[in-house]
Chain A
Amino acid sequence: SQTIHQWPATLVQPVGSPLSLECTVEGTSNPNLYWYRQAAGRGLQLLFYSVGIGQISSEVPQNLSASRPQDRQFILSSKKLLLSDSGFYLCAWSVQGLAGGRADTQYFGPGTRLTVL
C-alpha cells in the first residue's frame, strides 16, 4: 500500500528565516505530487504540482518555491518567511495515467503546521 510522509509535523520560525518542508511517498512510482496550503478555517489552496523529477509548476505567485530532486520526494522552500506564510501545509500524491476507482483522486499526507512569528 502507498504511504505519504511529511516532516516536520510542526514548525515555529521567525520572520525572515528560511524554510524547508519535505514530503516523501512510498509504495508507488512516478506519482504526481502536490503542495497545498490551508489557512485556519479555510479551504485548500494549490501551491505547486509536479508530474516528474525536476518538473515543477506553480499555481500562484508567492514567496515559496518547490523542488522534486527524486521521484518520490517533494520539497517546499522559502528563502525568507513572511507572517502570511503561516498555515497548514499539505502534500498530496496521485497516480499518473490510470482511470477508474479510487486511483482517480489525490491522497494527502498528515500535514505540517507552520507558524511564522
Chain B
Amino acid sequence: QQQVKQSPQSLIVQKGGISIINCAYENTAFDYFPWYQQFPGKGPALLIAIRPDVSEKKEGRFTISFNKSAKQFSLHIMDSQPGDSATYFCAGRKNSGGYQKVTFGTGTKLQVIP
C-alpha cells in the first residue's frame, strides 16, 4: 500500500518561474514531513521539513505548505533556477520502536530551462 502519493512525476519550469510539487499521505501516524533533493548519481539530501502542527515553512526560495485536514502538503520553489534541476522526494516519518520509519513518495523529476 503506497502511503505517500506524489505528483507530478516530471515537471518542466522556465527559469524564474515557480515549481510546485504535491504530496498526499494516508498514515495519520506520520509526525514529520521531510523533502529530499537528489541529483543524478548522488544520495538524497534533506532540503526542508515540516511538522504537522505548522501550516507553512519557508527556507529561502523553498516553501512547504501543509494542510493537515486534507492530508496534503506541497513544495514550492520560487524563482526556480537551472541548478534546482533534480529529483525531489516528499516523505512522511513515523517513530517506530526506537527507529524512524520513513515512507517516500515516488519522486518528481524537475527540469528548469533557461
Q: Do A and B come from one complex?
A: yes
Chain A residues with a Cβ under 8 A of chain B: 6, 32, 34, 41-44, 46, 49, 51, 90, 92, 94, 96-97, 102, 104-111, 113
Evaluate contact between B99 and A94: CB separation under 8 angstroms: yes
Task: For B49, list chain A residues within 8 Å (CB).
Answer: 102, 104-105
Interface pairs A-B: 9 shortest CB-CB: A108-B43, A43-B106, A105-B34, A32-B99, A44-B104, A111-B43, A43-B104, A104-B32, A108-B44
Is B102 in the interface zone, CB < 8 Å from A?
Answer: yes
Is B98 in the interface zone, CB < 8 Å from A?
Answer: yes
Evaluate contact between A32 and B89: CB separation under 8 angstroms: no
Evaluate contact between B100 and A106: CB separation under 8 angstroms: yes
- A113 to B49 CA separation, bound complex (whole angstroms): 27
Secondary structure at the B interface, as helix, strand, loop or mixed, is strand
Chain B residues with a Cβ under 8 A of chain A: 32, 34, 36, 41-46, 49, 89, 91, 93, 98-102, 104-107
Task: For A96, list chain B residues within 8 Å (CB).
Answer: 98-99
A/B interface sample: 14 pairs, CB < 8 A: A32-B98, A43-B89, A43-B104, A43-B105, A43-B106, A43-B107, A44-B89, A94-B99, A94-B100, A96-B99, A102-B46, A109-B43, A111-B42, A113-B41
With contact pairs A32-B100, A51-B98, A105-B32 given, residues A110 and B42 touching in the complex (Cβ less than 8 Å): yes
Shortest Cβ distance from residue B92 to the other chain A in the assembled complex, whole angstroms = 11
Known: A104-B32, A105-B34. 15 other contacts (CB 8 A): A32-B98, A32-B100, A41-B107, A42-B106, A43-B104, A44-B44, A90-B44, A96-B98, A96-B99, A104-B93, A105-B46, A105-B91, A108-B36, A108-B44, A111-B43
Task: For A32, list chain B residues within 8 Å (CB).
Answer: 98-100
